[in-house]
Structure 1
């Protein structure tokens, strides 16, 4: 008798060992309960800058179009006390671009994420395969936040090469609605999985957009992180900056082209920076709302 794959549950390679535990299900394929998920904690900082339209257009997948001014929102975050990692946590580096995606039956205004780095393979493999997030690997230490001094910062590296740095200063707490920094609208990603083929001849198995936008006609907000029941604080910065350091093949053998692609996006003008901290029900960051979008013909 061979393996029987159950309908309605998630599997990841190696799939023959049963349903895959992660943020969206337990090892038996059932959902985590709110009691099991507990409370998670997060710190998230973002620097926004203006760049050149043609540089962003070069990295937009089919169906995506720039929305408004050519901007990049670069973020560094750290999640801790995650139920699905048995209380562990990890860091995230990501960029977002304000875009509109035009599919077969939907037009979605949102924030396209061309790449994000995470500090644990558990988060990378679940998000790449299940959600279509373009996740890569990095060493991301805990963020450095000094509320008394009004500063915050952090970095990301791989193979001891630091490719990203972020710094905020002049932080002043403000009271605003709970939401993540960023371009606004739904989260947008582009899922691409290569097809196996000799000498690179396979093409792709799948290539389509994924989003946090609710289904047409359905209620709900567009954020992939839900802030119901969250303890939320926010600070605006007097200024902020980011540094992307170009890499060589020797420094980052399999990801130098990605880092350099981001580093080559000019920083024409800084437009703002902010920091948020929140404690929320653990399931708030499970991203269970992510779905595919039917591409245009």
Structure 2
């Protein structure tokens, strides 16, 4: 008969024994990221945040990350698109500022499963193109079942000033409090077996950086299984310009140092 060992780390399916990761393991990967940020309506963003979280400013960031040479992925890689807002958690014991991801699309199921079940990250699948560079532009798109629902483009690209880059490098890893919400529905679909806020610590070292002009296009489509998400994001107003920033470096993801927020 299979028996769980309380001091071991398991993931689904658990019946073949504990995972090889755990304890002090930190996931690392080389990253190339593009982030598109704009001001929008704060009340519209507020409605996405669950109890205990407060919007810090009416700002939305959409980021593409290409992760390569992943140490938990047999040296492989994958792409993700993350939509997030700056937020503060106001709990009885924890008061922290960080970022709250509203949705994360990834093009590989392995990181989706772990990120959802353990770290409460709102991950779902999509086909995400590698970053294309052509004629001074950097662009990508995301689709599901052949239907494109998001296009991202960075243009008028310029390197960070030397002084800014050297200062950033000298500062070392930039820590980030990435929030999550672990929601496991009841078997009958009504209510939740697990419904709790999560802290998922991460940090990034930056080796190079660029900035430029950003363009974001959401494409709502009733045939898209994610249309209820896409339509609400597409309806958000864009106030002013969309700033675009790109960085390359190394990301460190500390799932086993995460915890439930109280």
| TM-score in same-fold range (> 0.5) | yes
For residue 177 of structure 1, what is the aligned residue in structure 2? 168
Instruction: Show the counterpart of 2:132.
Output: 144
Q: Which TM-score applies when normalising by structure 2?
A: 0.88
Which residue matches 2:227? 256
Q: Is the 1:234–1:274 Cα contact (8 Å) retained in structure 2?
A: yes
Larger fraction in strand: 2
Instruction: Tell me if structure 2 keeps the 8 A contact 1:225–1:287.
Output: no
Check 1:105–1:279 CA distance in 2 against 1; reply closer, same or farther (3 A cut): closer
With 187-196 and 285-294 compared, the bigger mean Cα shift is at: 285-294
Equivalents in 2 of 1:98, 1:259: separation in Å? 20
| Other-structure match for 2:102 | 114
Aligned to 2:258: 290
Number of paired residues? Answer: 254
C-alpha distance in structure 1 between counterparts of 2:199 and 2:8, whole Å = 20
1:245 corresponds to 2:219: yes
2:179 is matched with 188
CA deviation after TM superposition for structure 1 residue 274, in Å: 0.5
Partner in structure 1 of residue 11 of structure 2: 12
User: How far apart are the structure 2 equivalents of 1:270 and 1:19?
Assistant: 49
Using the size of structure 1 for normalisation, the TM-score is 0.78
Task: Select which of 89, 104, 128 maps to 2:116.
Answer: 128
Alpha-carbon distance, 1:271 to partner: 4.4
Does 2:255 match 1:277? no
Q: Does the Cα contact within 8 Å between 1:134 and 1:190 map onto a contact in 2?
A: yes
- Equivalent pair of 1:164/1:242 in contact (CA under 8 Å): yes
Structure 2: tracts of 5 or more residues without a match: none
Whole-Å separation in 1 of the counterparts to 2:63 and 2:110: 20
User: Are the aligned partners of 2:91 and 2:261 in contact in 1 as well (CA < 8 Å)?
Assistant: yes
The separation in 2 between residues aligned to 1:150 and 1:288, in whole angstroms, is 40
Measured in 1, the distance between the counterparts of 2:48 and 2:144 equals 23
CA, structure 1 residues 46+19, in 2 after alignment: closer, same or farther (shift >3 Å)? same
Q: CA deviation at 1:185?
A: 5.4
Deviation at 1:71, TM superposition (A): 0.6
**How far off its partner does 1:279 sit?**
4.4
Cα RMSD, aligned residues only: 2.4
Q: Which moved more, 1:132-141 or 1:81-90?
A: 81-90
Aligned pair partner of 2:29 in 22, 26, 40: 40
Displacement of 1:153 in angstroms is 1.6
Q: How far did residue 256 of structure 1 move?
A: 2.0
- Would the alpha carbon gap of residues 63 and 285 (structure 1) be closer, same or farther in structure 2, given more than 3 Å must change? closer
